[in-house]
Structure 1
Amino acid sequence: MTKKKAKQQGFRKEIDAPSLSEVNNSVAIPKNATFFRKLFAFMGPGALIAVGYVDPGNWATSIAGGSAFGYTLLSVILISNLMAILLQSLASKLGIVTGRDLAQASRDSFPKKLSYLFWILAELAIIATDIAEVIGSAIALNLLFGIPLVWGVCITALDIFIVLLLQHKGFRWIEIIVITLMVTILVCFGAELIMSHPDVREIMEGFVPQKEVITNPAMLYIALGILGATVMPHNLYLHSSIVQTRQYERTTKGKKEAIKFSFIDSTFSLTIALLINASILILAAAAFYKTGQTNVAGIEDAYALLNPTLGSSIASTLFAVALLASGQNSTLTGTLAGQIVMEGFLNIRLKPWVRRLLTRFLAIVPAVIVTALYGESGTNELLILSQVILSMQLSFAVIPLVLFTGDKHKMGEFVNKPWLKALSWFVAILIALLNIYLLLSLFI
């Protein structure tokens, strides 16, 4: 993109290199193909986004919500997912229309000092996400193979070699691995739901919002935790970048087609994420709430109680396998998000293995210290803290995204329609207010 064209689109200066330049515009889209062949070519980025919505940080809140309140908080999971579909569609549209990811757009639109602040907040969010992934994978290794938590945390650092290998093979390979792990998680929970015999009528009622969610402080606290663990700030940066891996025509017609297929891709994948998150809460409600075990909040507690509660010798193993798949899946997307944020905000390009080691080091050090000092209880507290940090950072990604996609000078004819602009601002303000309430509840 030339400097002149960049100014016409409302950005201050030219970007030196495209987002994720090593894979940008690398996945071929067949021309004059059928609808489904094109859809298949566009599908993949949505799966990488959906990973962030089923990472180990979601597990603790869904287990706590299901064991304490039964199926009631299914409505919160549904509403959070609808918010996610809206925000992710805006992120993909920003990347497709402007050729910039959210980090690049922020750097070019805000004063340098404010841009640096946003970069620091985004890095904190990625570190918090990485901590959740590290702890989740370590807990899974401990449950499956008896590996001590401290060693499990250290072992997770080795996944850098998996990421590097996949990056060399091409972006499609990363998408294939992610989709395979997502299917693994879905199959594991599908089997466990069959074992738990949930009440279908109560499940359907749970998806209907109840006034009690607002009036019951304990329920509201967990509901806000579910929201904070579901809508992930780093996913907005990630999605605005990886949609540009497709070789769609950079014309008005080509962009319209890319936006359409990207929306279908992300909506389908986030629906799978909804099924997984709902399955975790339904399993906790059917296995624990219905049997009077209403204080099951930790992942390890759930693992220990599943076999005797469901009367199956394989239930706990399936749970741990799904947890390991979730942690490793989130690792792949966390790597890409870290690269996008650093390159976009600072225009500094590090080698992928250097960036990954740096991110992993910042996540592993606190996890090792807390695990060594406080053991299992400490890792659960750190897991919850990571979700609080994510909640704090969310508005700093959502508000710029809504601002940019509602700016006609930047988006041209693709600018958000008035109804979409109003809805987007409503969601952005709602998220900000809910997170402020959550933080005040924690500190007061």
Structure 2
Amino acid sequence: PLTLLLWGQAEIVAIATDLAELIGGAVALNLLFGVPLIPGVLITAAVSVLLLLLAPQGRHRFEMVLAGMLLIILGGFLYQAVDARPSPEAAAGLLPGFAGAESVLLATGIVGATVMPHVIYLHSALTRSTTRDPTHQGKALRRTRREIVVALSFAGLANMTMLVAAAAVFHRGGHTGTDTLHEAYSGLGSLLGPTAAITFAVALLTAGLASSSVGTYAGQIIMEGFLRRRIPLIVRRAATLVPAAGILLAGMEPTRALILSQAVLSFGIPFALVPLIIFTSRRKLMGSLVNRRHTTIAAVTAIALISALNVFLLAEPLLG
């Protein structure tokens, strides 16, 4: 029962990622080329399948393609940040602060979108070693640590540049009404020019394609790991199309759907990290690679903080 519970929530997290990125890619295609949202979802799904053909046999090719797409995203947001010429006051917004339930929702969405719990399972599978040689395992651990630090640093930098650019542009320009991606696109165009708006849309499209591919691939790994079963890639891709298309057909605003889906990712983080910390803290299981005490304390603290945000989001409607 515990295995089925963990598999079920991990699949929900992977599907939530796919939902967000399919919608994000569709919105980007709409902004760039005027493609309606439903056909945009289908196009994004088709291109992400082509990317997945590089994996798992072509794992390194897959990683290189994703790294290139990440650089495109980061480059787009860095361009906007430089073009916006932010003041020190704009950067002050990077310090955590909450102003009601909506800001907590946004904060949990940023945490979920950066950490992405389903990628914990995926990265574990990609770095899995078949040798029990402690020396080789130690080298693999150090290499994995470097990869994770680089990946999360790039992701964090992309988030920070996006926030700083938005704060600098819209606050300085006195621009209001930027609650949706369409409004942000038009606002950037009017305040910084068409190049900034197009850069924003291209970064959004690239993020949608890359993350959608990762989410689908992670779903395969999750099913293999928990259930020892696989389903055809096309079947999984089709299954994740249904919620995205259904939400758009139901009339939900795409940006709101994106925010809520990223908050779902935050709820999945404790389910991924708690078993991980339990296992890696057992010397009998890990040997010389067992967690150091400060690693375990830091992880438990992070889990507690994220869980507190999640509990607040669940309790706030009842308390309010």
Q: Same fold (TM over 0.5)?
A: yes
Task: Determine the structure 1 residue equivalent to 2:106.
Answer: 222
- Rounded to whole Å, the distance in 2 between the matches of 1:427 and 1:415 is 19
Correspondence 1:418 to 2:293:
yes
Residue 357 of structure 1, CA deviation: 2.5
Correspondence 1:348 to 2:229:
yes
Alignment of 1:49-198 (within 5 A): 113-159=1-47, 161-167=49-55, 170-198=58-86
Question: Tell me, what secondary structure is at the counterpart of 1:167?
Answer: coil
Alignment of 1:5-44 (within 5 A): none
Residue 341 of structure 1, CA deviation: 0.4
Q: Any conservation in 1 of the 2:52–2:213 contact (CA below 8 Å)?
A: no
Alignment of 1:278-293 (within 5 A): 278-293=160-175
Alignment of 1:259-338 (within 5 A): 259-310=141-192, 312-338=193-219
- Rounded to whole Å, the distance in 2 between the matches of 1:221 and 1:328 is 24
- Rounded to whole Å, the distance in 2 between the matches of 1:384 and 1:147 is 22
- Rounded to whole Å, the distance in 2 between the matches of 1:205 and 1:386 is 27
Alpha carbons of 1:166 and 1:392: their partners in 2 closer, same or farther (altered >3 Å)?
same
Residue 223 of structure 1, CA deviation: 2.6
Task: Determine the structure 1 residue equivalent to 2:239.
Answer: 362
> What TM-score, normalized to structure 2?
0.92
Residue 155 of structure 1, CA deviation: 1.8
Alpha carbons of 1:190 and 1:406: their partners in 2 closer, same or farther (altered >3 Å)?
same
Aligned residues: 319
Question: Tell me, what secondary structure is at the counterpart of 2:54?
Answer: helix
- Equivalent position amino acid for 1:118 in 2: L
Among 240, 243, 248, the alignment partner of 2:124 is 240
Q: Which runs of 5+ in 1 are unaligned?
A: 1-112
- Rounded to whole Å, the distance in 2 between the matches of 1:285 and 1:387 is 21
- Rounded to whole Å, the distance in 2 between the matches of 1:131 and 1:417 is 37
Q: Any conservation in 1 of the 2:32–2:201 contact (CA below 8 Å)?
A: yes
Correspondence 1:404 to 2:292:
no
Among 371, 381, 384, the alignment partner of 2:248 is 371
Residues 186-206 of structure 1, C-alpha deviations (whole Å, 9 max, x = no match): 22122212221111x335544
Residue 437 of structure 1, CA deviation: 0.8
- Equivalent position amino acid for 1:230 in 2: T
Q: Any conservation in 2 of the 1:119–1:345 contact (CA below 8 Å)?
A: yes
Residues 315-347 of structure 1, C-alpha deviations (whole Å, 9 max, x = no match): 111111111111111122112211110000001
Q: Which runs of 5+ in 2 are unaligned?
A: none
Correspondence 1:231 to 2:151:
no
- Rounded to whole Å, the distance in 1 between the matches of 2:81 and 2:22 is 26
Q: Any conservation in 2 of the 1:367–1:382 contact (CA below 8 Å)?
A: no
Query: % of aligned pairs identical?
Result: 37
- Rounded to whole Å, the distance in 2 between the matches of 1:205 and 1:373 is 38
- Equivalent position amino acid for 2:291 in 1: N
- Rounded to whole Å, the distance in 2 between the matches of 1:276 and 1:394 is 21
Residue 416 of structure 1, CA deviation: 0.8
- Rounded to whole Å, the distance in 2 between the matches of 1:321 and 1:215 is 31
- Rounded to whole Å, the distance in 2 between the matches of 1:286 and 1:203 is 6
- Rounded to whole Å, the distance in 2 between the matches of 1:252 and 1:157 is 42
Residues 177-235 of structure 1, C-alpha deviations (whole Å, 9 max, x = no match): 11111111122122212221111x335544555xxx15665544433332233321101
Q: Which has the larger radius of gyration?
A: 1
Question: Tell me, what secondary structure is at the counterpart of 1:302?
Answer: helix
- Equivalent position amino acid for 2:191 in 1: T
Alpha carbons of 1:164 and 1:229: their partners in 2 closer, same or farther (altered >3 Å)?
closer
Task: Determine the structure 2 residue equivalent to 1:432.
Answer: 307
- Equivalent position amino acid for 1:293 in 2: H
- Rounded to whole Å, the distance in 2 between the matches of 1:229 and 1:442 is 23
Alpha carbons of 1:160 and 1:261: their partners in 2 closer, same or farther (altered >3 Å)?
closer
- Rounded to whole Å, the distance in 2 between the matches of 1:410 and 1:168 is 28
Alpha carbons of 1:216 and 1:321: their partners in 2 closer, same or farther (altered >3 Å)?
same
